Structure 1
Amino acid sequence: MAYRYAVAGLGLALMGLGGALLVQQPSPWRIALWLAGAVVVHDGLVAPLVIAVAALTGAFGLRLRGVPRAALIVAGSLTAIALPPLLRPGGTANPTVVPLDYLRNWLLTMAAVALAAGLYAGTRAALRGARRRT
């Protein structure tokens, strides 16, 4: 119980620090507007998409639990982060703004997530099978 109070206290302290830093910014309303936009995008776009994917997979008899669910959540989060540069490719006036090939790196990251999930699930299945045989 003490652990919960300590974590809650730390969270409240960090929220207070974030609020104080927000107020000290030259234009705190722009940052607050951006944060509100993030909440709207999450609640209006990301959460309904996750629910729709869960409903569709359930309708087709697929039960996504554990590793596949975690891999989809990670892939969706990484895609949400990468969407702005993916949707607006092209040069900028400042070449250091987006100096990398976002599409290639996003595809490599998705492949890494799929590979890690597959290796984890395969290793777990192999260990389970080994335990049954012994």
Structure 2
Amino acid sequence: MRITLGAAGVALITVGLFLLLPLPGLWGVVVGFAGAIALHDVVIGPLVLLAGLLVARLPDRAVVRGALITMGALVLITVPVLLRPGPPPNPTLLAQPYGLNLLICLVAVAVVAVVLVLVRRRR
């Protein structure tokens, strides 16, 4: 069964590569992936490690870590939309105030974390 699934996976990867190779913008994709890996290793990884060390001695560290992970994911998802140069190609595509929406979501996550900490301390 494993050999069959492995062979099917290799076949699908091969088909995907053959479909992807003729693209003229392939080099941009490769550079983007390399940049994402470098960003993770140089910036995001050390920041997460530092946050984990700072939170390690808190009594409700699980809630705080969960909130920080959720907030970090929200920021990472929203940053490309916020930092996009120029107007969107389709004016109806990005018609929302993403900065304000991000702030509302971050505040909501923080409020939920505070409520969870307070409920845990009352028990």
Q: TM-score, normalised by structure 2?
A: 0.67
Q: 2 CA distance for matches of 1:74 and 1:115? A: 13
User: In terms of mean alpha carbon deviation, does 81-90 or 107-116 score higher?
Assistant: 81-90
Match of 1:48 in 2: 46
| Residue of structure 2 equivalent to 1:69 | 65
**CA distance in structure 2 between the partners assigned to 1:120 and 1:23 by the alignment:** 50
1:24–1:52 Cα change, 3 Å: same
What number of residue pairs does the alignment pair up? 116
Aligned equivalent of 1:21, options 8, 16, 19: 16
- Give the Cα–Cα distance (whole angstroms) in 2 for the partners of residues 105 and 18 of structure 1: 38
Unaligned runs of 5+ in 2: none
2 CA distance for matches of 1:34 and 1:112? Answer: 32
- 82, 88, 91: which one aligns with 1:86: 82
Alpha-carbon deviation of 1:93? 4.5
* Aligned CA-pair RMSD: 3.4
The CA deviation at 1:16 is: 7.2
SS at match of 2:95: coil
CA 1:68–1:17: 2 relative to 1, 3 Å: farther
Q: Is this contact kept in 1: 2:78–2:102, CA < 8 A?
A: yes
Q: Which has the higher contact order (CA 8 A, sep 6+)?
A: 2
After superposition, the C-alpha distances for 1:43-95 in whole angstroms (9 at most, x for unaligned) are 1111111223334556xx64672110111111112112212233357633431
Structure 1: tracts of 5 or more residues without a match: 130-134
Q: Structure 1's 21 and 109: CA in aligned 2 closer, same or farther, altered over 3 A?
A: farther
Report deviation, 1:28.
Answer: 3.8
Q: Are 2:94 and 1:122 aligned?
A: no
Q: Which stretches of structure 1, 4 residues or longer, exceed 6 Å deviation after superposition?
A: none
